[in-house]
Structure 1
Amino acid sequence: MSLLVIGDIMFDIVARIDGPPFAGSDHRAKISFLLGGSGANQSIWASHLGVPSKFCGCVHADDYETIIDQFVEYGVNATLQQVASHSGRVVCIVSDDGERSFITDRGANDLLQLKFLSIPLMNDVDHVHISGHLLYQEHIYHDIIDFIAKCKSKNIMISMDIGSASFVRDVGANRFNVIAESCDFLFANNDELKAISNDNIIKNEGQHQHSCHGIIILKNGADGACCVDSYNNIIAESNGVEVSVVDSTGAGDAFFAGFISAYRKTKDMTIALTEGVKMGALCCTMVGARPGSAELMLGFIRCINHYTNDN
């Protein structure tokens, strides 16, 4: 059975600067041009970890071959709608401590139509994951509601990553809450969860009033992660892993893949959180939001397993 991710594709311009950014002058940086996009990254990381993965997104027709080739390289079965609008672009500014800020032009991503999802693509899907960035466009939001209803009728698991607190504030929390009501898993950090919470009321530290009837996977960055049930009970936790951060872009996408890969195998929340934290930490040790070399992966996993066993 397969995971299907419905989400965004971006051309990433990653600028790693020395020291804090400042306005009105030049700043030396190391600049990389990479393929990214949260949804695309999640499907690629999941495939890299052995989860049969599919992806649905939207790109400019001239970019189709370049983008589809990378999905093929990572073993992802991708369906890409082709349009005349330019593909998504994002400028990612990474400070010397690895923290990043995004300047986003969503481009073709905002033109996605879920009717381009073919019936054969859905044949063996048992889990659909939705990128919250897509809810920015009203027509996609309504398409997703209809699509989720069809999935639920076939007992397909649904999850969503909220993606950005600023996007929630731009369009309002209602769209995210409507989708969250149907989610088996909702992935968020504290800022994102607070943004969609009713009246932004925090009941306890790390716990919010929310509309998700499933499990919230709360990402706390370097401090690890926890699972919160629909009654705001913390049911599983995992500590963070200390690494030398190079670039935190895509860490949440790698976390998602690590969590889902482990959960599909074990159905154990604590194990899944631990693997998610490991993969998020791994992503922070390299430039870009997608998996690196096999040698880097294996070396990192050995290091983290040693660290975990010693602590």
Structure 2
Amino acid sequence: MSGTVLVIGDVMTDIIVASEGPIVPGSDRRAAIVQRPGGSGANQAVWLAAAGVPVRFAARVGAADLALYRDRFRQWGVEPCLAADATLGSGVLVTLLDPLGERSFLTDRGANLNLCTADLPATLLDGVELLLVSGYSLFAPVPRAAVQGLMRAARSRGVAIAVDPASTGFLAEVGPQNFLDWVGPLDWLFANDAEAEFLTGVADLDEQVRRLGAQFEHVIIKRGRFGATLGGRDGVTLGQAAPVVRAVDTTGAGDAFAAGFVAALLAGEAPETCLERGIANGTRAVQRVGGQPERP
């Protein structure tokens, strides 16, 4: 692989609650509760490193956790470029899993909300072939301004840029057109099917790809158990199904998919192989609890 991937996104601690059934308001429900490292950007970075891609990860964490997170990412083979926040603690995410593996999130983004321009100098782009941005970094004003500045620097250097919208809940808060205006024309969009429908306002898959292809050169739509599609302004050009597996936890599956796709892309593989690798990574992710692969 000829270049490094620079990932910008959140660092979170995931507290995963797998209940035996529906929540009982005002009473108890048995559940298995585990704690895992997470955050969309962090997930993408470690999945990329697991695929052998040189990866640099920039984010902001609570000052008390800085050494811990630096060591953890280095163990994965990720180059950590982490800023320490003296005011806010590191982000925390509570994931509520239903018996079918679907999840809902309660999010305290913590120090991620203070990611700023000083944390993202243009020198982070040295030797970088692709800038991969998690949409979570765009939903608050201060990190959004910092990421937009880095994207401008990437464009001036000819570095390819990919973005993952990350959250239909936050997209609904800011509005789809605002999000599209914030990111501008980019090389790659990695959206799931719900995000694609929200951003375009249409349910037809081919029309979603056409509309998004007017702004993004390459459009990937992650479709969960239905696999994934690739296309652009002319609509869907390629699609692949996903294998049938028992989903234990879908957290981080989209991050794993993006990492698998990007790893194959940078290795010069054909689009069919890129989709295949992305789907394989996503399938692997849903069969275990947490958004990251097993530690090396």
Q: TM-score range by the shorter chain?
A: over 0.9
Distance in 2, Cα, partners of 1:234 & 1:223? 14
Give runs of aligned pairs for residues 93-242 of structure 1, distance below 5 A. Answer: 93-118=96-121, 120-197=123-200, 200-202=201-203, 204-205=204-205, 207-208=207-208, 209-210=211-212, 211-231=214-234, 233-242=235-244
> Which residue number in structure 2 is paired with residue 309 of structure 1?
none
Q: Is the 8 A contact 1:186 1:212 kept in 2?
A: no
Q: Deviations over 1:35-83 (max 9, x none)?
A: 1000011011001101100100011100111111110110000111111
Aligned residue-pair number: 290
For 1:260 and 1:8, locate their aligned partners in 2 and report how far apart those are by CA, in whole Å.
Answer: 19
CA distance in 1, matches of 2:161, 2:35: 32
For structure 1, the residue ranges without an aligned partner over 5 or more in a row are: 295-311
CA distance in 1 between partners of 2:237 and 2:251 (Å): 28
2:206–2:236 contact (8 Å) kept in structure 1: no
Secondary structure of 1:185's match? Answer: strand
User: Structure 2: where are the runs of 5+ without partners?
Assistant: none
TM-score, structure 2 normalization: 0.93
Regions of 4+ moved over 4 Å: none
Partner amino acid, structure 2, of 1:176:
F
Distance 1:235 1:105 in 2: 39
CA contact 1:141–1:175 (8 Å) conserved in 2: no
User: What residue is the counterpart of 1:30 in the other structure?
Assistant: 32
Q: Which residue of 2 aligns with 1:288?
A: 290
> SS state of the match for residue 281, structure 1?
helix
* Corresponding residue for residue 60 of structure 2: 58
- Which stretch shifts more, 12-21 or 98-107? 12-21
Tell me, yes or no, if the aligned pair for 2:192 and 2:254 is still in contact at 8 Å: no
- Displacement of 1:110 after TM fit? 0.8
Distance 2:205 2:122 in 1: 44
User: RMSD in angstroms over aligned alpha carbons?
Assistant: 1.6
With over 3 angstroms needed to count, the CA separation of the structure-2 counterparts of 1:118 and 1:257, relative to structure 1, is same
Of the three residues 273, 276, 293, the one matched with 2:275 is: 273
TM-score, normalization: structure 1?
0.89
Work out the percentage of aligned pairs sharing the same amino acid: 33
Specify the code of the residue in structure 2 equivalent to 1:23.
P
Q: Give the 3-state SS of the residue equivalent to 1:292 in structure 2.
A: coil
SS in 2 for 1:55: strand
How far apart are 1:108 and its partner, in Å?
0.7
Q: 2:76 corresponds to which letter in structure 1?
A: Y
